[in-house]
Amino acid sequence: MSVVTVTEAIKLSGKSAATFYRHLKTGKVSRATDGSGGIDTAELVRVYGELKETTQKTTKIPVVENNDISRENEWLKGQIEQLQQDMRELKSESLEREKRLMALLEHKKESDGGILGKLFK
């Protein structure tokens, strides 16, 4: 059989790390004699019986194409530019409206002036 690392042996045995290390310490499980420091799978079968399969669970993460990201990025930049332009126009319109209102107020003050204007109101 083959020699595996302690971490792989823990996974193959299905035991917790603490239990496995305790078994190593007490001699229930012994390391390989080839000097690698690993555990022979035959030793794992002797102690724990049939080994667990170590199939790695893979989670598929959706990968977005670089072109899609670039296209979305350009679209968002266009949206930002459009919103900034809209804000500038609204600010300009607001300032013009304020100037017209101030002019109307000043004109009204001038036309109300004088004694005759106040008497015949």
Print the domain residue range for 15: 3-48
Q: Is the pLDDT of residue 31 over 60?
A: yes
What is the predicted pLDDT for the residue at 113? 59
Amino acid at 42: A
Q: Is the pLDDT of residue 58 over 60?
A: no
* Number of domains composing the chain: 2
What is the pLDDT confidence band of residue 61, given thresholds at 50, 70 and 90? Answer: low
103 and 76, same domain (yes or no): yes
What is the predicted pLDDT for the residue at 118? 62
Q: Average the pLDDT over 75-81 and give the result.
A: 95
Look at residue 10 and tell me if it is in a domain: yes
**Which residue is listed with tokens 């300009």?**
92
Look at residue 106 and tell me if it is in a domain: yes
DSSP code, position 27:
T
Look at residue 29 and tell me if it is in a domain: yes
Amino acid at 50: E
Q: Is the pLDDT of residue 62 over 80?
A: no
74 and 105, same domain (yes or no): yes
φ, ψ (nearest 5 deg) of residue 3: -100, 135
pTM of this prediction?
A: 0.43
What is the predicted pLDDT for the residue at 52? 78
Question: Over the chain, what is the mean pLDDT?
Answer: 83
